Amino acid sequence: MAVGSIEPQFYEQLMMGLGLTDEDKYIPQFGDFEESKAKLSEIFSSKTRAEWTELFDKLDACVTPILELEEAPTHPLNKSRDTFVSNPHSGRFDPTPAPRLSRTPGKANVDSPDPEIGQHTIEVLKEVGMDSKLIGQYIEDGVITTSELNSKL
């Protein structure tokens, strides 16, 4: 779980969610960091991520689950904000541009496949002024990588 309960009102909600409202159980917000970290770790290890998520979904405590990469596109918050877009070329979800600007909103580029590793190496090196002979030497020496799609000198 990710905890960002910095402001006092959020910290109070964190303590409530953890069941630490009694004075003897309460963890001071600004105390011994290592001690507080150890106590919080012990408490969070007592339930599953799903159980904590369900509990903190009902509170305004700035506590959220840490998602696996493949889970992020299907999380309700990310779905509601269209944070990811399906990429038909790769079969995965790609993040949409951030931040979202009202007058010039970005658009995820999923219209063409991702380039192969080294696909544009020669083109880029020529654009910055490197001559073909040196590029060829670098390829031969294994200094640079090119893809078979675009490795003509």
Q: Which CATH class is domain 2-64?
A: alpha beta
Q: Sketch the domain layout of the chain as residue ranges.
A: 2-64, 121-150
Per residue in 121-138, pLDDT (tens digit) is: 999 999 999 999 999 999
Helices (H) and strands (E) in the chain, counts: 6, 4
Give me the DSSP letters along 124-148. Answer: HHHHTT--HHHHHHHHHHTSS---G
- Residue 22 has φ and ψ, to the nearest 5°, of -65, 140
- In this prediction the pTM is 0.63
Look at strands 92-95 and 84-87 and give their pairing: antiparallel
- What tokens were used for 118? 């080294």
Per residue in 42-66, pLDDT (tens digit) is: 999 999 999 999 999 999 999 999 9
Q: Give yes or no for a contact between 66 and 1, defined as CB atoms under 8 angstroms apart.
A: yes
Q: Give yes or no for a contact between 144 and 132, defined as CB atoms under 8 angstroms apart.
A: no
Percent of the chain with pLDDT over 90: 58
